[in-house]
A and B are shown apart, each in its own frame.
Chain A
Amino acid sequence: MKRAWLGGAALLLGGAGALWAAVPAPAAKAPAAPQRVVSINLCADQLVLALADRGQIAGLTKNATDLEMSGEAAKARGIALLSNSAEQILAIEPDLIVGMPASRSAALAALPPADYPLLDLETADRLDQIYASIHQTAAAVGHSARGEALIARMQGELAGLPTPGRGRVAAYYQRRGYMTGTGTLIDELMGRVGLVNLAGKLGKPPLSQLSLEEMVAARPDFLIVESATDTVTDQGSEMLHHPALKDIPRISVPQAWTVCGSPAYTQAARSIVSQIARHDAGGAS
């Protein structure tokens, strides 16, 4: 009875129905491994995709397949996407809900109190918090070894990373002149490759707005921008292409790698390093 109901729910969820049937149920290593994992946060999506078996994942957030927002977007294709609605979560009857944090989700608050196992992840502002989230998620989905291997791989990649920044100043400049400050993942990334965050130098909060004039006057050595703003699509991105900024070298990093504390952290770090190196070698960056 229960299986039939579940099959029905899977069919309702569209493309997921086929997958459900195609993926063999994972061999039960630990009896506790959840089989219907739902993620209700874009950052949790990426950890779940990296660590759980595909067949274990029953639902992700609606942005999980957006290549510009999620570093694991390619893997998410075909998995059911939920629109943060309590009804959809209820229909899945998840045996693990992962969020950031899950316990404060508005959709879950709307559900009748039930015993959904929740995994509350912390927003990562530092690398060690990313490791902690990987560790927690891996344990919760029943693949602890996979988590430890991922952490070891990331540590290995970062250990060999050069620091070509040499104390030069960079500003992470976003649409409409928002600048990312200290105490953020971006700030940590800058430090890791040897750059100094302009926001820290100017004593700005984690997110501040800096006008073009102030940016021109501050004269950073690099502007780090989101690769989505490389083309002008609206007024917010148009400002980053103002002629006044044309002489400041740019480093362009996909937002998908930096917006969440995720395994893509190492990709972001490597990309920044290689772009600085290319600039120093005299190539166009």
Chain B
Amino acid sequence: MTRFAPPRWTLVASLAALTLIAAVASLLFGAVDLSVARLVAAATGDGDRVATIILFDLRLPRTLLALAVGAMLGLAGAALQGYLRNPLAEPSVLGTSNAAALGGVAAIYFGLAELHPLMLPVLATGGALLSLVLLFALAGRAESPLTLILAGIAVGTLAVAGTSLALNLSPNPFAAMEIMTWLLGSLENRSFDHVWIALPCIAIGGAMLLWNGRALDTLTLGEDAAQALGTDIGRLRLRLLIGTAIGVGGAVAVSGAIGFVGLIVPHLIRPLTDRSPSAILLPSAIGGAALLTFADLGVRVIPTTNELKLGVVTAFLGVPVFLLHLMRERRIW
């Protein structure tokens, strides 16, 4: 069986180039039209005040967050798909993102985030971890891939309900608007404060997931064979759980629950590789960064009266992939 599989470095390099284009475009376009010359002047330090503030205080943190959050979601999707051997696994389908959003909501609306800035990522991570533990306990070893998805829907729905309830109970008269942002995700109006919250979490979580390539490869042969090859399944599961929870928790804490990035990206990447889990981890991270940055650019460029939520764009991209796989599954039903 021969497949078109470019050498790994070609794939990584072309994805990196794509991501660079996305990042540059994200710095060039926004609500205000600024000429390239003005932006370049601002970037080199002798621009006017308006262009400098827009570039460094608004567009740069937003771009960095789109790259980091996208990379984390793409990577988490690839790792979870590899570990669960389920093509539909990813943080938003499994309810992890929504559970992290619930943690973030609890931190912000009950004043815990004011006690210490670390409370926000810690609670979001806690929410994500709790949902993953619950999910693995419910359906981690299930035979049918659909059992896992159903369990994920249950966990995610519970988290969404909890988020709405928490916001309705909080003394905030603007709860409805806030609920929407948390459930659909947005990178609007982010600042470097948010970058400093998300980036360390994503770096730690991402590193813990990237580390698992070999172990995930052995797992494709089945758990027994993997163990025989020296893979400690318990440790692998723990690294995966904690890495996903910290990374996705940190990402969701600043962006809300953005769906489907972790689903789409590994599926786009997989045909370009030898299909082993280890081969798609890094490319999925880079691809996720490019996808989310382009999606966030779309949010800004598509003319709407109110800014479009990021999750709306990713859902339009992701649902077809999801449906395609459900159709394939139907043969088993």
A, B co-complexed: yes
Which residues in A have some Cβ–Cβ distance to B below 8 Å? 175-177, 209, 211-214, 216-217, 219, 233-236, 238-239, 242-244, 247
Contact of A244 among B53, B172, B188, B306 (CB under 8 A): B53
**Which residues of the other chain, A, contact B211 by a CB distance below 8 angstroms?**
none
At the interface, yes or no: B232 with Cβ under 8 Å from chain A?
no
The digit string for B176-189, where 1 denotes a CB below 8 A from any CB of A, is 01100100000011
Interface of B is mostly: helix
Contact of A217 among B54, B57, B108 (CB under 8 A): B54
Which residue of the partner chain B has the closest CB to A176? B177
At the interface, yes or no: B191 with Cβ under 8 Å from chain A?
yes
Contact in complex: B306, A234 (CB < 8 Å): no
Contact in complex: B174, A216 (CB < 8 Å): no
Give the docked Cα–Cα distance between A219 and B32 (Å): 13
Which residue of the partner chain A has the closest CB to B193? A243
Given contacts A214-B31, A235-B181, contact A242 B191 (CB under 8 A): yes
Given contacts A217-B50, A236-B177, A244-B191, contact A212 B306 (CB under 8 A): no
Interface of A is mostly: helix
At the interface, yes or no: B192 with Cβ under 8 Å from chain A?
yes
Top 6 nearest A-B pairs (CB, nearest first) are A244-B57, A211-B31, A239-B189, A213-B31, A217-B32, A213-B32
Compute the total of residue contacts between A and B using a CB distance below 8 Å.
65
Question: Would you give the shortest CB distance from B214 to chain A, in whole angstroms?
Answer: 41
Best-buried of B30, B189, B192 by chain A (most CB within 10 Å): B189
**Which residues of the other chain, B, contact A176 by a CB distance below 8 angstroms?**
174, 177
At the interface, yes or no: B2 with Cβ under 8 Å from chain A?
no
Given contacts A212-B58, A219-B50, A242-B57, contact A234 B189 (CB under 8 A): no
**Which residues of the other chain, B, contact A217 by a CB distance below 8 angstroms?**
32, 50, 54
Give the docked Cα–Cα distance between A216 and B54 (Å): 7
Given contacts A235-B178, A236-B178, contact A211 B192 (CB under 8 A): no
Give the docked Cα–Cα distance between A239 and B190 (Å): 8
Question: Would you give the shortest CB distance from B238 to chain A, in whole angstroms?
Answer: 33
At the interface, yes or no: B305 with Cβ under 8 Å from chain A?
yes
**Which residues of the other chain, A, contact B174 by a CB distance below 8 angstroms?**
175-176, 234, 236
Give the docked Cα–Cα distance between A110 and B57 (Å): 52
At the interface, yes or no: B307 with Cβ under 8 Å from chain A?
yes
**Which residues of the other chain, A, contact B181 by a CB distance below 8 angstroms?**
235
Question: Would you give the shortest CB distance from B110 to chain A, in whole angstroms?
Answer: 11
**Which residues of the other chain, B, contact A177 by a CB distance below 8 angstroms?**
189
Question: Would you give the shortest CB distance from B178 to chain A, in whole angstroms?
Answer: 5
Question: Would you give the shortest CB distance from B95 to chain A, in whole angstroms?
Answer: 22
Which residue of the partner chain A has the closest CB to B51? A217
Q: Which of B152-191 contact A (CB under 8 A)?
A: 172, 174, 177-178, 181, 188-189, 191
Give the docked Cα–Cα distance between A175 and B284 (Å): 36
Which residue of the partner chain B has the closest CB to A237? B174
The digit string for B287-325, where 1 denotes a CB below 8 A from any CB of A, is 000000000000000000111000000000000000000
7 pairs, CB–CB < 8 Å, chain A vs chain B: A216-B58, A234-B109, A235-B189, A239-B189, A242-B57, A242-B189, A244-B53
Which residue of the partner chain A has the closest CB to B172? A234
Contact in complex: B32, A214 (CB < 8 Å): yes
**Which residues of the other chain, A, contact B58 by a CB distance below 8 angstroms?**
212-213, 216, 242, 244
Question: Would you give the shortest CB distance from B317 to chain A, in whole angstroms?
Answer: 24
Question: Would you give the shortest CB distance from A243 to chain B, in whole angstroms?
Answer: 5
Question: Would you give the shortest CB distance from A67 to chain B, in whole angstroms?
Answer: 13
Question: Would you give the shortest CB distance from B45 to chain A, in whole angstroms?
Answer: 18
